[in-house]
Amino acid sequence: MSNPNNTIGNRRPLKSRGSAWANFLAKQAAATGITPNAISVLSVFFAACSMVCFLIVPDMKSAVTIVLAWLGAAAGIQMRLVCNLLDGMVAVEGGKRSPVGGLYNEVPDRVADVLILVGAGYATSVEPGVVKLFGVLPLGWSCAVAAVWAAYVRSIGAELTGKHFFIGPMAKQHRMAMLTTGCLMCLVASFVKGGDPHIVMTVILSITLFGTLLTCWRRLRLISTELRNKKGEV
């Protein structure tokens, strides 16, 4: 039986790809003439917007600006994911594949991951401005490194086995869902008596970090098993 976490080529298996809203947006995007590669680059723009919101939220004083900053960070993350969905749909279903599409499918994603995760690490006013674990480990930067590693492991697995393993528990869509949830929780914590966005973000990034490291380990195990099976080893 094939692994449900594998997919043809390098397309991540997503239920949202079959949704009516996704197909509508993909058709509209294709009709405008925008290329899949341009959509991929656009995802970096939204990730950068999210990072900016993370960076400025500690300096926001009024209720309105605090709300806008946290919601802006969450919206940037979700728009990045929408771009990640649409670029593949416009390329494949829209028949606009590009010879360099593989590069645009991967490289902007790595940049977007780093921008969002590093930004989240600076999203509190606690000195020296970086969310840390055990007072030493900078969580935003650590999550960014782990995210790039997870993608690297998947790419190496594809090169060695011909299959992409998108297994979690903290694959890209899970990391982004976790960060989006974190933004909304930090927003609430900013206005609840005794609430502390720093604690919330520390928990969110800690879960993201250890979940991503577990994801790397699980993917490595799957790749190792696949390679051994190819060689007829037990």
Is 7 contained in some domain? no
Radius of gyration of the chain (CA): 19
123-159 core/surface letters (b: 16 or more CB in 10 A; e: else): bbeeeeebbbeeeeebbbbbbbbbbbebbebbeebbe
Is 117 contained in some domain? yes
| Nearest alpha-carbon partner for 71 in 59, 86, 57 | 57
What local confidence, expressed as pLDDT, does residue 1 receive?
Answer: 27
Using the structure block, give the residue that is written with the tokens 């900013």: 190
What local confidence, expressed as pLDDT, does residue 88 receive?
Answer: 86
Is 210 contained in some domain? yes
For the CA atoms of 47, 9, 178, 86, what is the dihedral angle to 10 degrees?
Answer: 50
What local confidence, expressed as pLDDT, does residue 91 receive?
Answer: 85
| Nearest alpha-carbon partner for 90 in 109, 107, 79, 105 | 105
Helix-helix angle 36-56:101-121, to 10 degrees: 10
State how beta strands 132-133 and 137-138 pair: antiparallel
DSSP β-bridge partners for residue 137: 133
Task: List the domain range (segments joined by +) for residue 148.
Answer: 15-230
Is 192 contained in some domain? yes
* DSSP letter, residue 9: T
- Strand ranges inside the chain, DSSP E: 132-133, 137-138
Cα separations (Å) of 1 from 40, 163, 202?
A: 33, 14, 40
DSSP β-bridge partners for residue 138: 132
- d(CA 63, CA 69) in angstroms, rounded, equals 10
- d(CA 112, CA 188) in angstroms, rounded, equals 25
Q: Residue 188: give its domain's CATH number.
A: 1.20.120.1760
| pTM beyond 0.85, yes or no | yes
Per-residue tens of pLDDT for the chain, all 234 residues? 233 333 345 566 666 676 787 788 888 888 888 899 999 999 999 999 999 999 999 999 999 999 999 999 999 999 999 999 998 888 877 778 888 888 998 999 999 999 999 999 999 876 667 888 877 789 999 999 999 999 999 999 999 998 889 999 999 999 999 999 999 999 999 999 988 999 999 999 999 999 999 999 999 999 999 999 887 654
* DSSP letter, residue 154: H
Is 95 contained in some domain? yes
Is 185 contained in some domain? yes
Is 34 contained in some domain? yes
What local confidence, expressed as pLDDT, does residue 153 receive?
Answer: 96
Who contacts 81 (Cβ-Cβ below 8 Å, separation ≥6)? 173, 176
What local confidence, expressed as pLDDT, does residue 178 receive?
Answer: 97
What local confidence, expressed as pLDDT, does residue 17 receive?
Answer: 73
What local confidence, expressed as pLDDT, does residue 233 receive?
Answer: 55
3-state helix, strand, coil in the chain (%, to 5): 70, 0, 25
The total domain count for the chain is 1
Is 8 contained in some domain? no
